[in-house]
Structure 1
Amino acid sequence: MQRLHQLTRIMIGLDLGLPETHWRQLAQLFHITPHVMAALAIGLAALQPWLNGQTGPVSFVACLIALQLSLRVFGQIAFRRRRDHSLTKWTRIFAILSVASGLCWALSLASLYLGGTPDSKLIILAVGCGIIQSSAARAFMSPAPMLINIALLMSTVSIAAALEGQWMMALICLVYFLFQLTYLARLSDLYLGEILAEYERETALQQLADANRKLKQANEQLARHALTDGLTGIANRRSFDAALNAAFASDTQAPLSLILLDIDHFKAFNDSHGHQVGDDCLRLVGSVIAEVLDGSDFHAARYGGEEFALILPGADAFEAARLAERLRRAIAAAELGDLADAAPSISASFGAATRTRADLSPADLVARADRALYRAKQKGRNRVAVDGDGDIATA
């Protein structure tokens, strides 16, 4: 049942490729020009019967062709002004209009054929062949309606010929119909191959675009992981080195400060409470730093072990010391009671340094901050020391 449904959709012009292709085909199929040409041809074929006094059949044909053209004009206008973009709906509308056109053409030619002169019959057959050939040339876009049109034309002319005793003409029409079927099968096969190739190409391009997008996302995620400390969630040493070099290269005239901090007595803390609680402690310090720096342009990183670093572009020595003191107080106030077997509190020592001249290198600035940190530890820890300043901010 599903295969029959799929075949039916293909026969009326659906499921042959991309939706854009279907809409282009429908625009061609709804076009009125071929029907105007067919109406002119049938009108010329009716001229001789009208001159011969067959006014009844000619009037009937004129009404049929006027009805057929009216339907096609209405269909083209409605298609161009459509607001409903349902591909299936408009394909079915075309199929109905197409069969109606075929029926009008078939009845018109049969009416003119009956009782006509040999010359007029020859003209009518020529017009019918032209209409059939035009339908066959467009049949690859909507096979079923066009085949119905051809069958209607051939069968009605064959019946008209048989009614007048011209059985050979009926046989010729049958052979011609079979020839058209062979032609249509070949034409449709070629076009289907082209449409399927286009569809496969577009599908392959879409799959390639999706794969590239996923690869880009994976690379970005990998890059983030490569620059992020897995334990604390802030930047790692590699990210710190890159950020410090970038800060030095961006503006050599603006102030630039660096803070190094070290958790006090962390080895003893680990030995007393275990490495799992030690990891929790590091996470807590990382979250405190991230919270204090939230919304700023400063860069925080885990420098190594229990040591953290902060790069402060645009901050002078006073601002660096003030931020370090704020962080020291925040860490000292952080509660560890919710951590299993944790100590009641922790503290950290800070060393701050500021670039004082343009020829100072990143390594020089790190060394100065490290010396300040060492002085803070020497003086009892849980305090801030500033490079080049003898005073140490105590707890």
Structure 2
Amino acid sequence: MAALGCLQRGFNGPIETRRSWNLIAAGLVLWAVGQAGLSYLSGAFDLRQMLAPTWNFFFFAYGIPIILALSSANENVGLRSFLWPDGAIAAIVVVLANLQLFSSAPGWSRLVPLSVTDLGNIYNIQNVLLACACTLRLLLSSRGEKRTIYSILSGFLWINALVWAILSSFKEMPVPIRNALWELPFLLLLTALAFWPQSHGSKVAKGTGILTVGFLVDNLSPVLLTIGVIILASEIKREHIVFKVLSMTIAVVLFGIRTAIRQSDYFRGHLQIVESQQALEEANVQLTRDAVRDGLTGAYNRRYFDQTLTEEWKRASRAQQPLSLIMVDVDHFKSLNDHYGHPTGDAVLRAIVRTLTTVLRRPNDLLARYGGEEFAVILPGTDLKGAMLVAEHMRASIEAREIPNDRSGSGRVVTLSVGVASDQPAIGGTQQELLDRVDSALYRAKSQGRNRICS
């Protein structure tokens, strides 16, 4: 009934915990087979009857699926399942344990048969190790159905270990009490499965320390299985030396493959985190770029222009250097838009930005869309004469492109009106005054016939 309860819990719970519940159920089925065999032999539980080797083996083997459930990959860190190498090592343990501890086959049985005390000690050690491993898993797990598994399983394993210790110590205990104790862990497990609320979500454990210890725990159970193979194989008689060496070699190789792949998974997971961080940084850079760029033309926007002008004004004042501004207006742009359509007008603005950008050679020079068809240029460390040369280069470059504009009076091509102003912030004045002067210069250039520069 407890095994069926585990299967039902796994079937109704999250898919990532289904394998763990199935493995626990498999362990309980093995226990039930051993109990059925002993009950058939004795009719009631009697520790003296536990030397029947065929059925004793199932009480030992029940712990193997439990170990596999505890050593299954922690989904919170995105690791692959290692059931096949763990299962292969566990299969070797099962075979060796059956041959060395419980088998009566000629040539394989132990020189000294197991006594009732030896058998009790084996089960007690096994139960305590399983309970400790499960408790460690519980302490390291985050909230969710995984933690529920470890909570329920820890309670069952500790109670089972206590019952075994009591039954091993008090061999003359009355049969009714002995039977009640024998069934107690399974009744409590069944009760927990029935009434413990099921969780359908899981939270990722945080902290480097938790992940490091989790890596250790992920490999602890397979280490125990591998050590178990070595201990059991070391007791094999000399006439079976080939089987002895082969068992040890296969177990060590499987564990080595498992560890190598597990480390590769952690390394890959670390790379994915690094790549995610890099992608996030690139996305932040792109967001920052989008925040300061004009969406249509790719030039800097008005907000970034105002911020940069303030910074350059302060820098020019400290360094006692000149600061120049250029204001550019596309001639007859409204007529161009009306005649050719807005998509053509947008394409013209983008072409103008690309051309003007090639004129600006210095990294500190800045081109921004000031508004509509107006563009502004900041030239740090440039006097009026230098700014006039840059402005003329801009005007001539646009005119040389011969972008059609039948509504223009200047050769039916797109042209620019340009205003230029320069100031020495260290001497006096304000950046607003500089903006007013360059705006006035642009107005004069437009009023005097366009396609010209005024300062």
TM-score range for the pair, normalised by the shorter chain length? 0.5 to 0.7
Alignment of 1:223-242 (within 5 A): 224-242=289-307
Task: Name the residue aligned to 2:222.
Answer: none
One-letter code aligned to 2:332:
H
Return 5+ residue gaps in structure 2 as ranges: 1-9, 25-64, 138-149, 165-171, 207-268, 270-274
8 Å contact kept, 2:325–2:379: yes
8 Å contact kept, 1:321–1:352: yes
Task: Name the residue aligned to 2:257.
Answer: none
Matched, 1:348 2:416: yes
For residues 176-195 of structure 1, give each alpha carbon's deviation from its aligned partner in whole angstroms, at most 9, with x where no partner exists.
99659739958x98xx99x9
Task: Name the residue aligned to 1:137.
Answer: 131
Partners of 1:291 and 1:275 in 2: how far apart? 25
Offset of 1:260 from its aligned partner?
Answer: 0.5
How many residues are paired up? Answer: 286
State which of 371, 374, 384 in structure 2 corresponds to 1:307: 374
State which of 268, 276, 279 in structure 1 corresponds to 2:346: 279
Offset of 1:336 from its aligned partner?
Answer: 2.5
Partners of 1:109 and 1:135 in 2: how far apart? 26
Matched, 1:92 2:87: yes
Q: Percent identity?
A: 31
Partners of 2:90 and 2:188 in 1: how far apart? 17
Q: What CA RMSD, in Å, does the superposition of the two structures yield over aligned residues?
A: 5.3
8 Å contact kept, 2:330–2:414: yes
Task: Name the residue aligned to 1:331.
Answer: 398
Residues 335, 89 of structure 1: alpha-carbon distance in 2 compared, 3 angstrom cutoff: farther
For residues 17-71 of structure 1, give each alpha carbon's deviation from its aligned partner in whole angstroms, at most 9, with x where no partner exists.
347698xxxxxxxxxxxxxxxxxxxxxxxxxxxxxxxxxxxxxxxxxxxxxxxxx
For residues 344-372 of structure 1, give each alpha carbon's deviation from its aligned partner in whole angstroms, at most 9, with x where no partner exists.
52111212222223233221111121232
Offset of 1:384 from its aligned partner?
Answer: 2.4
Task: Name the residue aligned to 2:232.
Answer: none
Task: Name the residue aligned to 1:264.
Answer: 331
Return 5+ residue gaps in structure 1 as ranges: 23-84, 115-120, 155-167, 387-395
8 Å contact kept, 1:351–1:369: yes
Residues 139, 370 of structure 1: alpha-carbon distance in 2 compared, 3 angstrom cutoff: closer
Offset of 1:292 from its aligned partner?
Answer: 3.0
Partners of 1:325 and 1:265 in 2: how far apart? 19
Matched, 1:182 2:186: yes
State which of 9, 19, 41 in structure 2 corresponds to 1:6: 19
For residues 93-125 of structure 1, give each alpha carbon's deviation from its aligned partner in whole angstroms, at most 9, with x where no partner exists.
5423442453334459986457xxxxxx45334
One-letter code aligned to 1:133:
N
Residues 184, 129 of structure 1: alpha-carbon distance in 2 compared, 3 angstrom cutoff: farther
Q: Which has the larger radius of gyration?
A: 1
Partners of 1:93 and 1:122 in 2: how far apart? 30
Task: Name the residue aligned to 1:384.
Answer: 453
State which of 434, 437, 442 in structure 2 corresponds to 1:365: 434
Normalising by structure 2, what TM-score?
0.48
Partners of 1:226 and 1:217 in 2: how far apart? 14
Secondary structure of 1:289's counterpart equals helix
Secondary structure of 2:367's counterpart equals strand
Normalising by structure 1, what TM-score?
0.54
8 Å contact kept, 1:229–1:236: yes
Offset of 1:324 from its aligned partner?
Answer: 1.2
Task: Name the residue aligned to 2:74.
Answer: 17
